[in-house]
Structure 1
């Protein structure tokens, strides 16, 4: 028999022995145990070390709210940290280790932090590590010096690096009623809805339905609560309109009555079945939600309240009743409400000695005194615990007389020998999901708790969630919603009658005992009562600021334990009542959610791969592919032994000398059609399109509403009411959204329809001095001479029998033509163009050569249109029409957007003929030891085969005025410093004679 296991009782299977290890030591438990209950049964009191001070910590609770007993579970090489031992069902071979300690749990060198005192108080990061370092490292910031050590010490568990081999699933579910929680209230709500024919989902985070009824000492309908719960859950058999989800935590409540849940399918199994997922992620859309999530018992704040052996009273009752485990032999209780007296009696019946009940209230009801007498416990009313004694386990406590009104202590402290202290500071309804659903909680003075807000979505509350603690009167608020409970036989089933505790469980408004020593409010983050008062003294008066400055209620706690005590201390410091101080809004997730479940089947390389119609040809012909946004595009077509630079220089040079062909299928293509299409384009673009002739194209620029440049491209007029807009590859989706927004919201009266046709067209650009001759050799049905196909002209014809549309325009600066055909014929037309170009020396080129030629020509792309530049910054002000308004015209002349010192587009030439780097800064005075006073930065750079120099485009303050001047590139991260010349961005053929030739 384990040291603290009772002879009988609990729902564990005493005939099945489970073997597991914790910190390398072997232990045994029984089927149905949690890791916490099994370790307690084996006499283990030390479970972990605290976050900041590395204080020894034992288990505090018995459920999902556990802040102390967080462990790492190992499955082979895979490690999962920060799992509450109270939520781990043991199985043969379970391996768990404690966290946040070195070299061992019993002797942790990090405990020296307890000597830090006020140095480690709230906000110590901000106060300590911002100043400069003195001494040998003078000149560096203190944080930079300490960061490595701080990051090693931060956190609790250590994440693993081995791939997670488990499988995860996603599920979508729709129901009429989702019931969250399966206590008596939840079971009855689910039964009522099921019998009415509704589609019901009942989700319970524990392994068994029945909630507290599984372990409480209550009697419902003249039978033990556990039996009542089993009978109630069994009544769902034979109903195909109810889905039961045990081990399922509903962790998020979103708009439209959409809730997120995590089902732990095989965490409790040694050998999961073939194909079984570890976790299943549920997205549940419900017409109505019943929140029967119960309540949490609150801790009390007093010196030493975190010592191993101090736990919540009802948790101890649960360990005794559900797992047959006593948390101690000599147990004392400290309370401000009646519920602890029932716990004392339950533990006495389980075999523990109750040495004392310390109650802050001076007057107690006769019923409570009777319960204490039955538990053979001494009552110390009007007293408070002021200290605990012991090292890594509790050995005793000290109590003093306490005035509940003034909070003053008096008289001599009295020592009480006990190895377990149970505390009860009242109860807080578990309103997290209701808060997530979109409203502020409401304070109840009598219960000293926040009750659920008024619903803003379709949910109703039931049981303790509504503040009905202990008693199960009005078990279903659903009675007001027309729900009626019906028994398995079809006869009405009465709401349960309960042998509840006499009196009430309304707590006295006492949460903290002010005495010498550290009193913890948030156990997980080592936030003390003094930290809360310090935050107030330093000006943090909002509860949201308090939370972030002290870390109170953050991470997995989310206010489950610390919320009300922390608010009470803050309210006292402010001199305001708790409801005026308010409470933080709870946010999802309610409890930790595995990353694997969020990804589910979507693992590995999840990046979408958009491939052009000629993709396979590129691969087969030696292209090195490059991910450009969502698209895969050829970077180079390298020859054997060529570097990337050698390849793109060869491709760009050959294109300028003869001809080159590049795949431009990725350009955004949008059909703009309708009677008002031309008017719409006039409003969208900065320049005129209503005057564009059919069969012609025009370069266009779009601004955002704030006057900054958005996108550029060409638009072709194919008919009076038919335009084809092209956009940059990166902005295709954004431009489509932009157009749809203005048509749907701003100008719904315009008769225009926009359609994305990007994937409908394959495109190839043929450029160079011999480009026209190549087209003439393969195009039929139209001439391509200058008269028939002038600059920005459009013709239709055929290539190798495939209909094509050709527009003469250039991105390279050479005479060039864009050829479009149906996507299904893309490779066929591409190969025909290449075959026709062989006698003319046609080369295929990729993005590197494309970028090189555009830099040489001075064209802009997304690197320059970066959301901060204007048309004037890019020297595109010639495109700003003065004849019409357009999107952004009202804002483009704001003072800040026309300032003389704005960054303007320029060209740079490296005078030391060394490579330049994108993102490098430009300075007037070079200071390699202390780079400063940047006047701009490089946006794009390359080696120019046309110029034989390393060049770049850049955005420089007062750029045009600096043409011909010298400056320096300053790139300390890559140790690149050197002289440059600032020139026009048009390096190559500035008058456009080659393009128009």
Structure 2
């Protein structure tokens, strides 16, 4: 391999030399090189190892269809990028590159040493081998992950950032080859707003190679490029891959904005990549086609490449990929490459499987050797190809036979062209199925969706002029659909033919004929899958892993279909293709997220008391975006010690908690009370001002979705509280039902969660503290009973004080305007020192509520629990004038059956054993059928033992009986079923000290 003198249309800048590091060794290339072209000119091989057998692999293609050359860029750094195709990576200064595969290294791969075992590793090997014994799976998994043929995931945070951009266009053109350029220009001249996308650094596509030898092509290309750049209504996005096309012409595209720049040259103010969301009235797909390789034994050796790739490296990068060249194919394009290689000083041997009628005398006079009715049957070499064996062949019906072995041809490069497969992926993303064409030996796009057109080689035009004319015709059709007039008429061009011959599969050494280079899927694997009765191509794909690699079968899938056709005798059009799904090429996770990362994706919310909590040394946890104190350690206390102290204070003396995060919705209007009756399961008609009521909310299926306490301010004004994580969901729930089902109700909602801060004073001595900090409210039991609220002045601040409890102890919640929240908290904490007041966090809150058997929605319920399942039938009022949401569903046979999972309490036989949450429950020790699972589990400092809550099938009827818990540790633990209230069943502690 060598760099040629300057070529007419080369993309490299020979004045700017760049260096890159490959496995510790420095190499050089030019600006404009891809990593692949730089590796070729430096004769870097192998570049990868295959997934299953660890075979040496070289560069095969020049674009996104490359199956082998996966690399890791900037390994171990904050710019670590795994599984990048070397053919896609533009070379930049000091690029750090490592192979994505190789166990333990690229040069010495243990999978290759296991060659004697390869015959046992055919299709279905993984499914058959690693399914038993079951307890060995962790060992299997660890080994398989070590042997995977892909890059390790980044271990460091990404130093780059990403963003999204949204577009609306009249016409979006995907692909900037001659068809796309012509279509975009014609559409723009017709008055349409146009977006032109192409995955390469500059427009032109495969036409760049034509420009090198065709003066007319070069003139048209330059004129069209300049015209597009001057069109104000055309946006050109290069280095941009359209990776998905959804319904109603929503295109998703990834722009690589700074990937081609050296790390030091990248602007930190600009995004590395940008995800574009384009909504277009019309879409023109000028996506081109991918060349297919031929099938023969050892066709995966380094030095065996696609003919179009050899041509592209020759003209765009001035790289001659070999000087002893065999060109093999079944279509006329191989003679174009032969002529161009002769121009470069190489005398190729052309092996044509057809009885070609082309006049090749001129080529032969220039030094080329032509063999028609011949095919390669085997490649020879170890680390790379050194020769090929060819044979005379004959086709009988659908079967190919070897007539006689002809000769062995020495070579260091084999250029293959087995025909071209239109890039139908985007067209198929919305459900279209490609249609097989016997004339072109390819699956053609159906393009049967509205407002969509195809043009160029994706539409089987092999020459640049035909692609140009087809692009102009597609633009005219799109403009007509928009009621716009094209600037010039465009006739639908006739397709020229490359004379592509039938798919060639000789069945010679099928266990050495590779279809999927990345996953080591061979022709024999397809035959084996069919022999094991996998007949659908979708099943064959999954059984053999055909097309499972990062190239998604761009080079191998159609050949796999051809082999399946040959084995079964079923025509390819009846076998069909596998399903094409997004993404067309891999998309970085960062680009999908855009700017919605970290706090921009999930903002952190803080209560007004946050700084006081930090000063107190609180440990925090995230609850529905809120940073809530988890526990307040003193000294070197751990979680369990701190929680025991906090719980003891709440039960025996005085404690305080920040409850500001509970959702709060202000509901006002003449029909506010009626709305509450419809969204809550219990009755609300008689709730008087100054009173509070617990409410249970269900969805249409009768399943619990939220709960909370609502206070009546007046007959037309209520304050609803929700769970911390459910505030936004409940607000949307209310608005949806009001707007879509009950618009006649005169009521409005306002989210006031952030308007108020709440300090909960909890414990037997809570009344004493409240009487000291508030003089205008009577806190006696008789004047201020449980589930009442009062308005007064607390420490000089207007406040609403609610006597509600989530702990079972005497508790008051002080609600003040948010800007007074920290002041109230700090003053309560200071004054409460007379009773050794103790702040507590969410962990202690959970323990205290579990001791009382209070549920947490989303933990003790999971969207399948009704009020009756939770033992809360007392909160269901069935005789309302207007039924509440979900009432009808509670009468269904499934929701009314007695053996549903029901919420119960559990006590372990060993009081020190705390069951893990999620632990499975069974009826008998030997049972495998699950009876239920643990939803909440804690060690209770009050009871000095473990407690748990669980949903158990027919649990209410099983109270008093013993069942068994099966933690993942493998133990079988007896547990006693009981009711959920473990503490103060008589509610004697609710009024505290009088």
TM-score w.r.t. length of structure 2? 0.89
Q: 1:453 & 1:628 partners in 2: Cα distance? A: 50
Alignment partner, residue 94 of structure 2: 93
Alpha-carbon RMSD across the aligned residues, in angstroms, is: 3.5
Give the secondary structure class of the aligned counterpart of 1:216: helix
For the 8 Å contact 2:76–2:155, the answer to whether it is kept is no
Other-structure match for 2:519: 525
Aligned mate of 2:225, from 222, 225, 233: 233
The structure-2 alpha-carbon separation of the partners of 1:846 and 1:268, relative to structure 1 and needing over 3 Å to count, comes to: closer
Quote how far apart the aligned CAs of 1:839 are: 4.6
Alignment partners' CA distance in 1, 2:648 and 2:974: 26
- Residue 873 of structure 1 is matched in structure 2 by 869
Shift of the alpha carbon at 1:283? Answer: 1.8
Q: Which residue of 2 aligns with 1:906?
A: 904
Tell me the CA shift for residue 833 of structure 1.
4.2
Match of 1:949 in 2: 945
Aligned partners of 2:462 and 2:498 also within 8 Å: yes
User: Quick check: 1:431 aligned with 2:429?
Assistant: no
The match for 1:617 among 590, 609, 612 is 612
In structure 1, distance between residues paired with 2:905 and 2:697: 23
- Per the alignment, do residues 931 and 356 of structure 1 end up closer, same or farther by CA in structure 2, a change over 3 Å counting? same
Q: Could you tell me which residue of structure 1 aligns to residue 483 of structure 2? A: none
Match of 1:206 in 2: 200
User: Which residue in 2 is equivalent to 1:62?
Assistant: 62
For the Cα contact (< 8 Å) 1:10–1:320, is it kept in 2?
no
Listed as ranges, the matches of 1:244-643 within 5 Å are 244-255=236-247, 257-270=249-262, 271-275=264-268, 277=270, 279-287=272-280, 288-359=282-353, 361-362=354-355, 364-365=356-357, 367=358, 369=360, 373=364, 376-394=367-385, 395-403=387-395, 405-419=397-411, 420-454=413-447, 456=449, 458-470=451-463, 471-472=466-467, 473-481=469-477, 504-517=497-510, 518-573=512-567, 575-601=569-595, 607-643=602-638
Shift of 1:805: 2.3
The whole-number CA distance in structure 1 between the counterparts of 2:566 and 2:89 is: 38
User: Residues 905 and 479 (structure 1 numbering): CA distance in 2 closer, same or farther, change over 3 Å?
Assistant: closer
Provide the C-alpha distance between the structure 1 equivalents of 2:528 and 2:76, rounded to a whole number of angstroms. 45
Match of 2:48 in 1: 48
| Contact 2:451/2:478 (8 A) holds in 1 | no
Q: What is the DSSP-based 3-state SS (H/G/I as helix, E as strand, rest coil) of the residue aligned with 2:989? A: helix
Cα separation, 2, equivalents of 1:941 and 1:295? 60
SS at match of 2:524: helix
Q: Hey, what's the Cα distance between the residues in 2 that align with 1:757 and 1:126?
A: 56
Paired position in structure 2 for 1:488: none
Separation in 2 of the partners of 1:643 and 1:26? 53
Deviation by residue 1:845-899 (Cα, 9 ceiling, x = unmatched): 2223222221221111132123343333321122233324433333335555455
Provide the secondary structure at the position in 2 that maps to 1:474: helix
CA-to-aligned-CA distance 1:196-232 (integer Å, 9 cap, x gap): 5654443322222222221225776xx2534542332
Q: Distance in 1 between matches of 2:118 and 2:838?
A: 73
Find the aligned partners of 1:725 and 1:571 in 2 and give their Cα distance.
67
Q: How many angstroms does 1:240 deviate by? A: 4.8
Residue 600 (structure 1) shift:
4.8
Cα distance between partner residues in 1 of 2:197 and 2:661: 47
User: Which structure 2 residues correspond to residues 649-660 of structure 1 after superposition, within 5 A?
Assistant: 649-660=644-655
Structure 2: segments with no counterpart, 5+ residues = 481-485
SS in structure 2 of the partner of residue 150 of structure 1 = helix
Deviations 1:282-305 (A, max 9, x none): 323343443222111122223222
Encode CA deviations 1:510-548: one digit per residue, 9 max, x unaligned. 243322242222222111222223333334343333333
Distance change (3 Å), C-alpha of 1:459 and 1:926: closer
In the alignment, which residue of structure 2 is the partner of 1:155? 149
More deviation in 506-515 or 271-280? Answer: 271-280
Contact 1:475–1:495 at 8 Å: present in 2 too?
Answer: no
CA-CA distance at 1:327 after TM superposition: 2.5
Residue 780 of structure 1 deviates from its aligned partner by 5.5
Partner of 2:914: 916
2:32 is matched with 32
- 2:860 corresponds to which residue? 864
Mapping for residues 120-199 of structure 1, pairs under 5 Å = 120-132=121-133, 141-195=135-189, 198-199=192-193
The worse-fitting range, judged by mean Cα deviation, of 953-962 and 150-159 is 953-962
3-state DSSP class of the match of 2:890?
Answer: coil
Are the aligned partners of 2:672 and 2:718 in contact in 1 as well (CA < 8 Å)? yes
Structure 1 residues 827 and 210, CA, compared in 2 at 3 Å: closer, same or farther?
same
Q: Deviations over 1:41-60 (max 9, x none)?
A: 34455332211122222221
Q: 1:492 to 1:707 in 2, by over 3 A?
A: closer
**TM-aligned CA deviation for residue 95 of structure 1:** 3.5
Tell me if the contact between 1:57 and 1:308 (Cα under 8 Å) persists in the aligned partners.
yes
Q: CA deviation at 1:497?
A: 14
Q: Give the match's secondary structure for 2:502.
A: coil
SS in 2 for 1:408: strand
My pick for the range that moved more, 141-150 or 393-402, is 141-150
CA 1:33/1:622 → structure 2, altered by over 3 Å: closer, same or farther? closer
Residue 453 of structure 2 aligns to a residue whose secondary structure is strand
**Bigger shift: 269-278 or 532-541?**
269-278
- 1:693-752 CA-to-partner distances (Å, cap 9, x unmatched) read 343222222233333333222223333343332222233333334334434445555554
Q: Equivalents in 2 of 1:780, 1:256: separation in Å?
A: 66
2:888 alignment counterpart: 890
Q: Rate the CA distance shift 1:556–1:726 in 2: closer, same or farther, 3 A.
A: same
Structure 2 CA distance for partners of 1:440 and 1:818, relative to 1, 3 Å:
farther
Bigger drift between 372-381 and 519-528 goes to: 372-381
Q: CA offset at residue 66 of structure 1?
A: 0.6
Structure 1 residues 17 and 947: alpha-carbon distance in aligned structure 2, compared to 1, 3 A threshold = closer
**Structure 1 equivalent of residue 82 of structure 2:** 81
Does the alignment pair 1:215 with 2:209?
Answer: yes
Report the counterpart of residue 849 of structure 1 in structure 2. Answer: 844
Q: Which segment is superposed worse, 317-326 or 120-129?
A: 317-326
User: What is the alpha-carbon distance in structure 2 between the residues aligned to residue 925 and residue 481 of structure 1?
Assistant: 69
Matched position secondary structure for 1:422: strand
On the 8 A contact 1:4/1:43 being kept in 2, the answer is: no
**Quick check: 1:201–1:244 contact (8 Å CA) kept in 2?**
yes
Q: Cα–Cα, structure 1 residues 743 and 428, in superposed 2: closer, same or farther, change >3 Å?
A: farther
Distance change >3 Å, CA 703–CA 75, structure 1 → 2: closer
CA distance in 2, matches of 1:923, 1:70: 47
Tell me what 2:683 maps to. 688
**C-alpha distance after superposition, 1:635-682 (max 9, x if no partner):** 233333434333333332223333332211111223344444434333
Change (3 A) 1:168 1:341: same
Q: 1:669 aligns with which of 659, 664, 670?
A: 664
For residues 575 and 587 of structure 2, the distance between their equivalents in structure 1, rounded to whole angstroms, comes to 30
The answer to whether the 8 A contact 1:684-1:702 is kept is yes
Query: Aligned pair in 2 of structure 1 residues 659, 550: CA closer, same or farther (>3 Å)?
Result: same
**Whole-angstrom CA distance in 2 between matches of 1:687 and 1:503:** 76
Paired residues, number: 973
Quote the Cα distance in structure 1 between the aligned partners of 2:929 and 2:266. 64
- Cα–Cα, structure 1 residues 889 and 276, in superposed 2: closer, same or farther, change >3 Å? closer
Q: Closer, same or farther in 2 for the Cα pair 1:770/1:256, shift >3 Å? A: farther
- Distance in 1 (alpha carbons) for counterparts of 2:543 and 2:920: 39
1:458, CA displacement in angstroms? 4.3
